[in-house]
Chain A
Amino acid sequence: DVKVTQSSRYLVKRTGEKVFLECVQDMDHENMFWYRQDPGLGLRLIYFSYDVKMKEKGDIPEGYSVSREKKERFSLILESASTNQTSMYLCASSFRSGALWDPPSEKLFFGSGTQLSVL
Chain B
Amino acid sequence: KQEVTQIPAALSVPEGENLVLNCSFTDSAIYNLQWFRQDPGKGLTSLLLIQSSQREQTSGRLNASLDKSSGRSTLYIAASQPGDSATYLCAVAGGTSYGKLTFGQGTILTVHP
The count of residues in chain B whose C-beta lies closer than 8 Å to any C-beta of chain A is 25
Other-chain residue from B31, B89, B97 in contact with A43 (beta carbon distance below 8 A) = B89
Question: Secondary structure at chain B's binding surface: helix, strand, loop or mixed?
Answer: strand
User: CB within 8 Å of B: which of A88-117?
Assistant: 90, 92, 101, 103-113, 115
Known A106-B49, A108-B34: A31·B103 in contact at CB below 8 Å: no
Residue of A nearest to B46 (CB): A107
Known A42-B106, A103-B94: A112·B31 in contact at CB below 8 Å: no
A43 touches B98 (CB 8 A): no
User: Once the chains are docked, how many angstroms separate the CA of A115 from the CA of B40?
Assistant: 12
Per-residue A-contact encoding for B65-102, CB less than 8 Å = 1, 0 else: 00000000000000000000000010101100111110
User: Once the chains are docked, how many angstroms separate the CA of A104 from the CA of B102?
Assistant: 12
Other-chain residue from A31, A101, A108, A115 in contact with B46 (beta carbon distance below 8 A) = A108
Q: Is B44 an interface residue (CB 8 A)?
A: yes
A105 touches B101 (CB 8 A): no
User: Once the chains are docked, how many angstroms separate the CA of A42 from the CA of B103?
Assistant: 7
Chain B interface residues (CB < 8 Å from chain A)? 31-32, 34, 36, 41-46, 49, 51, 89, 91, 93-94, 97-101, 103-106
Chain A interface residues (CB < 8 Å from chain B)? 4, 31, 33, 40, 42-43, 45, 48, 50, 56, 58-59, 90, 92, 101, 103-113, 115
